Each structure stands twice: as C-alpha cells, then as structure tokens.
Structure 1
C-alpha cells in the first residue's frame, strides 16, 4: 500500500464541511469563531499499482491533491486578513460619516434660524445659488457651484442679492465657530442656503393650505412633504471654493432676458425647458410674473402648467420632487466633491490614565 498524508492547521472565519476536512468544535461567540482553528487533513492511498506509468500518474494526482489543500489553507488566511482590514476601514468610514452628518445638522439649524428671522430673503437666496452654479462652462470645465459669486456680487445680474449674501456671511461665522473640521466653504454654504430657503417655502405653502395654522401646516408638511427627497443633495457636501471670479457674460439678467436666452443658458449646462419651468421661483422675487413669461413659450408651457397644477395639490409631489432633483444637479456643476471634508481626527485615549 502506498499512501500520502498532509496535515495543516489554519485560521479561518468559517467552518468547512468538505470531505477530508475535520472542523474544530463549534464556537459560540463571533470573536472566538473568527480565531477558530480548522484542521485540514488530506489523505490519498493507492493499492495494487505496479506499473511505472501508473506510479507517475499517482504522483501527479498526489501533487494536485496536496496543492489543492495548500491553496485552501492560503485562501482561508487571505479571507481572515481581508476581513480584519475591511472591519477597520468600515469603522473609520462610519466615524467620518457621523462627523459630517453632525456638522451638516448644525449648518441647517443655523440657516433655519437665520432665514426664519428674514423670510423676505428667500427668493434672493434661491437666485444667489442659481447664479453661482449657472456659470458652469462644459467646454472648459470652469465655473459652476464654486462660491465665486461672493466675488461677483457687484455685477448687474446679481443686483439685489447682497442682502442674501450678507445673511450667509453672518451665518458662516456662527457655523465656523462650532466646527471641529474646519470652516464651511462658501460653495457649500450658498447651496445649503438655497436648500433651507426652499424648505421654508415648502413649509409656508403647507401652512397656507391649512388656513395659516402653523401647527397643522407643520403636520401636513411632515405627512406629505418632500423632506425624504433630499438624500442625494445632502451627500453632495464638500465643495471647494474658487479663489477668483468666474468670467463675465455667463449669467443672464433674469429680469430682462428673453425666454429663449433663459433656455439657451439652461441647455448650455445640461438642463432644459423642464428644469427652467420648475425653477421659476429662482428667477426673481415674483414667481407668478416669471411663469407668465415662461408659459408663452411652447417648450416651457406644458411644464409650467404641470407644476402649477401640482402646487394646488395637498402633497405638491411633482413640483417639489422635480425642483429638489434639479437643484441637486445644478449644485454639483463644476465640482469634485471631497467626501472627507469637515472630518477630524478623534482624540486619542490615554490608557495609562484610565482607572480600572
């Protein structure tokens, strides 16, 4: 009788039930299972083999069989190692997510309070965000939602927006004073200012549907509002500020521009008549007057009518969801988002000072 035996002990995160593998006794805790040992035993036997050719084939099969066992052992080691590495990376990622989420909540709270004190600036905050982002040029990959409007506020198309910018500058001081991960960029602040302004307008519409009863309006907005649609917008957080003004001539004066000029500008950044219609509130302080101009255009008319009908419904779903989607796309133009922005190292614990 000829025989071969291979024995190896490896660490593995799971039990094997294949023939030729003897598993260790079951372990109850996850930590213990991770470090459980598996004994891999591979055995082959040959009886009655006399020819040299048969012996050679046997040696090949033994090598193949043993090599398979070795491969299994190495594979198990790799799984164990990669599991540990993945666990560390996931933990760090979760910490950063929590840090960014906490900072974002602080930003929204500050902006909510600031806008509540000056609700008349809601239209200007919307136009400020639009004019900052609409400077994007696809050919040169320049402009976009980069905060450069703070350097362009004296241009004719930005007339009347300085009060909205001043509100954000004051809010920034409070936000930065609470930040553990550095100051917020103007690029982020301007777009989140528009988000807060929109939420304020959505809430005001719900209150109006309830005859001015704020409590009932808040209940209506909570039940039917679009708060759950902001997920992607909130993730687009970590824009970088431009350090110089964008080129002039990219932003129309919305109060004087023809509808065709408005459409051309929206098309230039990858949008169209539908997005122009849904953003009518961003084009000036009088949304009704803006829509009266847009509805005369055959491309915009069906969309304006669609969103007007939607605003008459209880939920206003079509209007609010499309508006959030459009703002999300617009607010990311020209930006490579830094998803580690505003994170910070956690303080190390001195184990020597712990009292046991």
Structure 2
C-alpha cells in the first residue's frame, strides 16, 4: 500500500479504510495496520479520520475559566475588522439610475420616488452590515471590543456611529454567539440584541442567539440577560435567564419556554464542532437547511425520529455529512449543489 500523500479527506473517501476503523475485514484491517506502522507520521491523521467516521469523539478536558479569559484578552487586541474582510461580506447599497420621462407628470412622480429612495439609502448608509454565506462562520470585533461569532447564513447590523458610552444595539437574523464586555456610561451602557421577535438585553455576558423559521432561542453561558417580546396589549412578554438556562419563543404560542441545558451544546459550533445529546435527525435536517443551504429530501419520514449523541467535528460540510451518514447508518447523497437526499441503506 503506497499512500504517502494521504490527507484527512483521502482517508475518509477511501472505501477500504472503514474496515480498519470498524474491524469488519481482517485482510484490510491487517493491511492498514501494517501501513500505519510503516508510516507513523500518518497515524494522527488516520485517528482523526476514524473519529469522524465514528461520529463520536472523547470529551475534551475542561479549560479553566481564568485561562480562557486570559487567552481572550490577548486575542482581542490582535483582531481587527481587516482580518475578517475575507470572511465577512458587508452589505452594499445599490445606486439606481432613472431615465427621464417625456411627460411632466411622470417626471414629478419619479422625482418623488427618487427622493424617498435617497432617504432610505441614507438611512442604510448609517448602518454597518455583515453577512455570512451558507456553511461559513466568521468572527467580528465590535467597536466596544465585544466579540461576535456569526454562524452560516447570518446577518448582523449595527449603527455606524456607534457610541459605546450609550446603549449599544445590534440587529440579528440567523445565529450568533456573543461575548459582551461591560462598559461604563449612560444607563450602564446596556447591550441589546434585536431579533424580529425578541430583544435580548445584557450588561456583560456570553450567550448564543438563534433566530430561525420565526422562532427565537437564547442560551446563556455566563452572566445574566433579560428577554423582552411583544405579547398582548396589556401584558408584554418578559423573561430572565441565568447561566445554563435556555429560553425559546414561538410567537404563535405567546409565551417563553425555559429549561436547564448544557450551554456548550448550543455554542460548540464556534469551535468547529457539533455536540449532540439525543438529537433527532429532524433537528439535524433543519441545521443542514438553515446553516448550509441544502434542500433536504428524506425518502422515509420514520428515520427523522432517530437520534444521535456525541461530538462531530465540522472542518467542512463534506466531513460532516460523512460522519452523519456513519452515525445514523444512512446514505447522505448530493443530488446537485443544493439538494441533499437521505435514504436508508438497502
């Protein structure tokens, strides 16, 4: 076996490699073991590929909070907006030109319309807008040095003339993880994340916000947040979260639901991995559609109730699909660039 240039992706795509991982073919198992003994520099890559095929990895040793904070303080001073320019796609304002109309009445209407569009464009220019593509994540440092990690298919905007001494506001569509720094100033310089349904107000904390399919979910890692939503005219909806709590709002039900969770499960994507705890395939289908832009076809709806527990590393969408296929014992097949079909093996 002459495989000196094998990469992680090569191991995953080799049809004989799973026999070494699952010990299902003694001949192939012996061949791979012999080759790895002769090429010890490839053992680490092979072990990484094996973990991805299994779809479950060992739980890492917890890092002390003091070490995390120290590392973050060093990191934040190195990050700048320029470093994210290749990852983030600022929103663009389109300039529209209009042809002259031959009739004065039509010209007058066009002039009024042009004035309204100019006013709208002026307002848009006062906001900084960042977007991520499907399957893309990016880190952003806000003007007050707070950090935001954007998940795929996400838009974040905030005033261009940000004043950190006053209340800080951002608007989110999609999913993002926030690490908000406390700032002195007017009204304690509160930090507010606006979604179409919920406003999340904090002073200094870390939390994950997901706004997908008309449902908003907030998971608190540290600190304290207050949630506000539009309820009935007499009684608006409010909720307060403590670390380790999650709140979800479904507008049609006109109430928050709150429960205890492991926050790392919901923010693990910021570390290029996904943590599952008895997660049904139906939830993973939603993730593939919302974060990666797939149109998912499932041939047998019964398989949507299957669950998975463990960790999957997501350095790219292909390794994610391979790991999911192995973990669920299902076939994940790309019909085209944006269509994914999930079937049971024959």
Report the TM-score, using the length of structure 1 for normalisation.
0.21
- Structure of larger gyration radius: 1
Report the TM-score, using the length of structure 2 for normalisation.
0.21
